[in-house]
Chain A
Amino acid sequence: MLELLAQTGLNAVYAASYISLIAVGLVLIFGVMGVINFAHGELYMAGAYTVVLMYTDFQVPFFLAVAMGLIFVGCLGLAMERALFRPLRDNPLGGLVASIGFLMILQAVAAMGFGVRMEHIAPVTQAVIEFSDRVRLPVARLYVIIAAVVLLTALWLFLKKTRFGWALRAAAQDPEAAALQGISIKQTARIAMFIGAGLAGIAGALTAPLVSVNPHMGHSVIITAFIVIIVGGVGSLEGAVVASVAYAIIHTFVTTFYDGVIADIVGLSLMLLVLIVKPTGLFGSADRA
């Protein structure tokens, strides 16, 4: 029993890692752009396909392929900012619809380029850390955990310590006041979109060998990310991380001890509960509502 708990805990840590990478990006984009990016799950999918193309087809070393995924998806984010969100700045519903349109385009491109079947990627490493007979952590999962910790810490330092980070936070809190202080909204928007999309891309790239890569893989991911950002409070990066961990633990344990569908229902009910009781989320401040 103890071993089962330990193993489930490890699984939860892994899930929390990639969920928080995705959710933090989504929150960052919402904070600065004021748009819920429905295509965020497809950015994650694009990251995974970058690895399929580069690592499997072109034999590029895995970590180089992952870096390419980050940069490529970051650039997709820049393109979205320029082509969709900037012209639709005053139309939040419009931005949402445009991101749904972009989602369909990305899915169609992936389906045309790679087919709708699942892609199998040769494992990067077969190595497994064995804590005991039944408590094991594949090293490929460890990569994801390390990447999440390193990247999110780096992002946190970037936001707290650098001028860009300061501008980004100011723009997220009050765009007009930030503009008055000489902060370029365009530039902060570009940085936020690159980072936000890039985080989703690297999450997809790193998990590509661990999950089934297909054009519709973004669907369940975006639902999870929505739950997490609502529970954590839309616009709160710390809240997104904490909610990711909480969601991962609850979801993993319910999946292990009951089943996956019940776990999904529990997750969604949790989100509905938070929306009813405190719509600004557990970590959101009232004025962002």
Chain B
Amino acid sequence: MRSVIFIVLGACALLALPHGLSFSQQEILVFLTINILLVSSYRLLTLTGEWSLAHVVIMGVGAYASALYSKELGVWVPVSILLGGATAALMAVLLSFPLFRMKGFYFLIGSFAAGEIIRLLWKRFRDPFGGPKGIKGIEPMPDFSIGIYDFDFFEPVSYYYLSGVVVAVCLWLLWRIERSPVGLTFHAVHWQDKLAEASGVNLRAYRTLAFAIASGFAGIGGGLMAHYVGTINPNSFDVDLMVYVLTWAIVGGTGTFYGPILGCVVLTVLNEIVLRELGFEQMRPLIYGLIMILSILFLPKGLESIVQHLATRRSEKGVKDRRAAE
């Protein structure tokens, strides 16, 4: 019962949130929502113990695919976003053949190379990818009305509501997967792949499955972004954004479902709102870099470890209180 109240209150807060913000902050909010999906899907891949440097490019695969389906084939935008996700997942399955011959550091570098190749192909082939200038005039999400609210998708608030719902559904799916026997098997593959294999787990299939799911959701995120911004080009998905995703995951911590989300929200608020408002425009990468270094040095388990620490202290205190009452 209490959790229901919390969820309702949280949903109301998220609904009210954009109305207290400036226009540019509302736009940031849209990107933040999409980035939460990006980093949460990334965590699903890290469950199996592999760290990829191609995740942002895979998101780009979803963005390019969705933009092209709607533009060239006239697919209805909501459907094309889902198809974009499917295309990204398919790309991951294709990439898994060369990449999962490698592990650990070699997988990291191999995925980086694969991602750069994809980006260069976009750059090289003007038809259909538009070359270095990318794709312009991507179909916007069609406006609609649900009676009490008119969705106008040139307005960031409307798009925030839409992407918020899509991302919430995706997160719920990711959560269901992690909490299922499939998620348990991902963990098993990470911690002791040989023992998992001896228990009948097909390691290659499960690594590929995690890669494909993570990529599919990243692709949906890419589609959401493409139809909001309206233009995409190879540099929208460069290694700088990948570095940000990596940082969110590491500063937040990948031990829990909320860790990467926490990292993404805290760093985005810090980066976009605090530093920008305080006028540290030029120093932002510097401060960002410092935060990365400091957090890896002094908080190697991420922000989530602070939350866990507080939570255990509270529950211990609760137990003590109850004991005292008895």
Contact present for A97 and B250 (CB under 8 Å):
yes
Q: Is the CB of B293 within 8 A of A84?
A: yes
Interface segment, one of B162-170, B207-215, B283-291, B314-322: B283-291
Cα separation A184 to B117 with both chains bound (whole Å): 42
In the A-B complex, the 3 residue pairs with the smallest Cβ-Cβ separation, listed nearest first, are A104-B289, A101-B292, A108-B286
What residues of chain B lie closer than 8 Å to A271, measured between beta carbons? 109, 113
Closest B residue to A261 by CB, please name it.
B124
Q: Is the CB of B113 within 8 A of A268?
A: yes
Q: Which residues of B contact A261 (CB under 8 A)?
A: 120, 123-124
Q: Known contacts A84-B293, A108-B289; can you find 10 more A-B pairs with CB under 8 A?
A: A94-B300, A101-B292, A101-B296, A104-B289, A108-B282, A111-B285, A226-B109, A261-B124, A265-B117, A276-B102
Which residues on the B side are within 8 Å of A94 (C-beta)? 296, 300
20 A-B pairs whose Cβ atoms sit less than 8 Å apart in the complex: A84-B293, A88-B296, A98-B292, A100-B247, A100-B292, A101-B291, A105-B290, A105-B293, A108-B285, A108-B289, A112-B286, A219-B239, A226-B113, A230-B113, A265-B124, A268-B117, A271-B109, A275-B98, A275-B102, A279-B106
Query: Is the CB–CB distance between A98 and B117 below 8 Å?
Result: no
A-B contact count (CB 8 A): 110
- Looking at chain A's contact residues, the main secondary structure is helix
Closest chain A residue to B125 by CB distance? A261
The residue on B at minimum CB distance from A107 is B285
CB distance from A267 to the nearest CB of B (A): 9
Instruction: Please report the C-alpha to C-alpha distance between residue A132 and residue B117 in the assembled complex, in whole angstroms.
Output: 38
The answer to whether B293 touches A93, judged by C-beta atoms less than 8 angstroms apart, is no
Residues of B contacting A109 in the complex (Cβ-Cβ under 8 angstroms): 286
B-chain residues with CB within 8 Å of residue A84 when the two chains form the complex: 293, 297
Q: Is B229 an interface residue (CB 8 A)?
A: no
Q: Which residues of A contact B286 (CB under 8 A)?
A: 104-105, 108-109, 112
Residue A212 is within 8 A (CB to CB) of chain B in the complex:
no
A243-B275 Cα distance, complex, nearest whole Å: 43
Task: Report chain B residues within 8 Å CB of A238.
Answer: none
Tell me if B120 and A276 are in contact (CB < 8 A). no
List B109-152 residues whose CB lies under 8 Å from chain A.
109-110, 112-114, 116-117, 120-121, 123-124
Task: Count residues on chain A whose CB falls below 8 Å from chain B CBs.
Answer: 39
How far does the alpha carbon of A104 sit from the alpha carbon of B124 in the complex, in Å? 28
User: Given that A98-B297, A101-B293, A105-B286 are contacting pairs, would A275 and B120 also be in contact in the complex, using a CB cutoff of 8 Å?
Assistant: no
Q: Distance (Å) between the CB of B51 and the closest chain A CB? A: 7
Q: Check A276–B292 contact: CB distance below 8 A.
A: no
A79, chain B: closest CB distance, angstroms: 12
Q: Nearest chain B CB to A87's CB is how many angstroms away?
A: 6
Contact across chains for B246 and A272 when beta carbons are under 8 A apart: no
Contact A275 B113 (CB under 8 A): yes
Give residues 27-78 of A contacting B (CB, 8 Å): 36
Q: A84-B293, A108-B283, A112-B283 are in contact. Are A276 and B98 (CB under 8 A)?
A: yes
CB pair B110 A275 closer than 8 Å = yes
In this complex, what residue of B is CB-closest to A92?
Answer: B105
Q: Which residues in B have their C-beta under 8 angstroms from that of A100?
A: 243, 246-247, 289, 292
Known: A93-B51, A261-B120, A279-B106. A104 touches B296 (CB 8 A): no
The interface bits of chain B over 224-243 (1 if a CB of A lies within 8 angstroms of the residue's CB, else 0) are 00000000000000010001
Within 8 A of A (CB), among B265-318: 282-286, 288-293, 296-297, 300
- Residues B69-110 near A (CB distance < 8 A): 98, 101-102, 105-106, 109-110
Q: Are B293 and A268 in contact (CB under 8 A)?
A: no
A24 within 8 A of B: no
Residues of chain A in range 252-287 having any CB-CB distance to chain B below 8 Å: 261-262, 264-265, 268-269, 271-272, 275-276, 279
Residues in A with CB closer than 8 Å to B114 are 272
- Taking a contact as CB atoms closer than 8 A, the residue among A97, A219, A262 that contacts B247 in the complex is A97
Task: Say yes or no: is A247 at the interface (Cβ < 8 Å to chain B).
Answer: no
Partner of A268, one of B101, B116, B123: B116
Q: How far is the CB of A43 from chain B (nearest CB, A)?
A: 15
* Residue A4 is within 8 A (CB to CB) of chain B in the complex: no
Among A36, A98, A107, contact of B296 (Cβ-Cβ < 8 Å)? A98
Complex contact A265–B285 (CB within 8 A): no
Collect the chain A residues with CB atoms within 8 Å of residue B110's CB: 272, 275-276
